[in-house]
C-alpha cells in the first residue's frame, strides 16, 4: 500500500517546515513527513528549505550566517494571516522530540547542494542515534556524495538519492550506491520505470505529487510512497484504491 509523506509537513495548508505543519500532517493520518535541514552559523541543525530565510520568514540573510538564537527569533508563519502565534524555524531536535510521541517516518533531506555544511551528516546521525530513530528515518539529498558519506557512517540507516531529472534505469544507479530506494521528481519517471524499480527491490517515492491524476496513477500501481503537500487530498484518493 502506497504510503503518504507530507512534504515539508502539511504545507498546502500550514507554513512549510514548521512544527505546526508536522503536527497537522500527523493529525490527518500521514505515514511520514519530509523536511529539509541546514546548519546555522553555530552548527545547529535547523529545518528550513531555502539557503536564505527571506522567503519563508520575516528575516533576511543566509541560514549559515545566522546563529541559532537569531534564527529562533524569526517567524516562519508570518505570511499566514490566520496564524496568531509565531511559528519558529524548528531545530531537528525539536522534530525528534515530537517523533518520540508517534510512529511516523521522517524523510530528512540534507540541503547541502549549494553550501556543503561540513559535518552535517555526522550531526544528523548523532541525533538519530541519540533519539533511537534509526529505523524511522530516510536520508535523502540531491548531493549524492553526501548520502554516500552518510551511508558509510551508518550503513543500517536508509538513504535515498533525489533525482530532479530522468536518468536511465534509476534502480541500477540506486543499487550501485547501496540505497534501497530513490525519490524522483514525478515528471522524470513513469509507471514502467516505477514498476521495474519495485520489481528490482528498489522503493520509489516521487515528489511533489499534488495533482489528483498523478496520485491516481501512482496509487493504481502501488508505488512505494508519494511525497505531497496535501496529505488530505492524497488520503481521499488513496481510499478509492483500497481493495
Ligand atoms: O524530497 C523531495 C523534495 O523535497 C525535493 O525538492 O526542493 O522540495 O526540497 P525540494
Ligand atoms: Ca525537500
* CATH number of the domain residue 129 falls in: 3.20.20.190
pLDDT of residue 164: 98
Element (H, E) at 71: helix 68-72
Q: How far is the CA of 36 from the centre of ligand 2 (A)?
A: 5
**183 flagged as catalytic:** no
Task: Please give the residue range of the domain that contains residue 211.
Answer: 3-241
What CA–CA distance (Å, rounded) separates 129 from 121?
12
Active site residue 144: no
Please give the distance, rounded to the nearest whole angstrom, from the Cα atom of residue 73 to the centre of ligand 1: 25
Residue 243's pLDDT is 54
User: What pLDDT does 82 receive?
Assistant: 79
> Checking phi first, is residue 242 left (phi over 0); if not, alpha (psi -120 to 50) or beta?
beta
Across the chain, where does the E strand assignment appear? Answer: 3-7, 32-39, 45-47, 105-110, 137-141, 158-163, 181-184, 203-204, 225-228
- Its pTM stands at 0.98
- Name 202's Cβ contacts closer than 8 Å, sequence gap at least 6: 170, 171, 174, 175, 179, 180, 181, 182
Q: How many domains does the chain have?
A: 1
Residues with a CB atom less than 6 Å from ligand 1: 7, 34, 36, 49, 109, 140, 162, 183, 207-208, 227
Ligand 1 center to 222 CA (angstroms): 21
Give the ligand 1 atom nearest the CA of 107: 1
From the list 243, 221, 238, 193, the residue with the least C-alpha distance to 31 is: 238
- Give the chain's residues under pLDDT 70: 243
Amino acid at each position: 500500500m502506497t504510503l503518504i509523506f507530507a512534504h515539508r509537513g502539511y504545507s498546502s495548508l500550514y507554513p512549510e517546515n514548521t512544527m505546526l505543519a508536522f503536527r497537522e500532517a500527523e493529525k490527518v493520518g500521514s505515514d511520514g513527513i519530509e523536511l529539509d535541514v541546514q546548519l546555522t552559523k553555530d552548527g545547529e541543525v535547523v529545518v528550513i528549505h531555502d539557503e536564505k530565510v527571506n522567503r519563508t520568514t520575516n528575516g533576511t540573510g543566509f541560514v549559515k550566517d545566522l546563529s541559532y538564537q537569531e534564527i529562533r527569533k524569526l517567524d516562519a508563519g508570518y505570511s499566514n494571516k490566520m496564524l496568531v502565534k509565531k511559528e519558529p524555524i524548528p531545530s531537528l531536535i525539536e522534530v525528534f522530540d515530537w517523533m518520540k510521541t508517534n510512529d511516523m517516518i521522517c524523510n530528512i533531506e540534507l540541503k547541502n547542494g549549494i553550501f556543503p555544511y561540513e559535518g552535517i551528516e555526522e550531526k544528523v546521525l548523532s541525533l538519530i542515534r541519540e533519539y533511537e530513530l534509526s529505523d524511522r528515518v530516510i536520508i535523502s539529498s540531491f548531493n549524492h556524495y553526501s548520502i554516500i558519506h552518510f551511508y558509510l557512517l551508518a550503513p543500517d540507516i536508509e538513504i535515498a538519492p533525489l533525482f530532479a531529472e530522468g536518468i536511465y534505469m534509476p534502480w541500477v544507479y540506486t543499487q550501485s550506491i547501496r540505497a534501497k530506494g530513490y525519490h524522483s521528481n514525478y515528471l522524470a519517471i513513469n509507471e514502467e520505470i516505477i514498476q521495474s524499480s519495485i520489481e528490482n527491490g528498489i522503493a520509489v517515492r516521487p515528489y511533489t505529487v499534488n495533482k489528483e491524476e498523478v496520485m491516481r496513477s501512482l496509487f493504481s500501481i502501488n508505488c512505494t510512497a508519494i511525497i505531497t503537500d496535501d496529505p488530505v487530498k492524497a488520503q481521499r484518493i488513496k481510499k478509492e484504491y483500497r481493495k
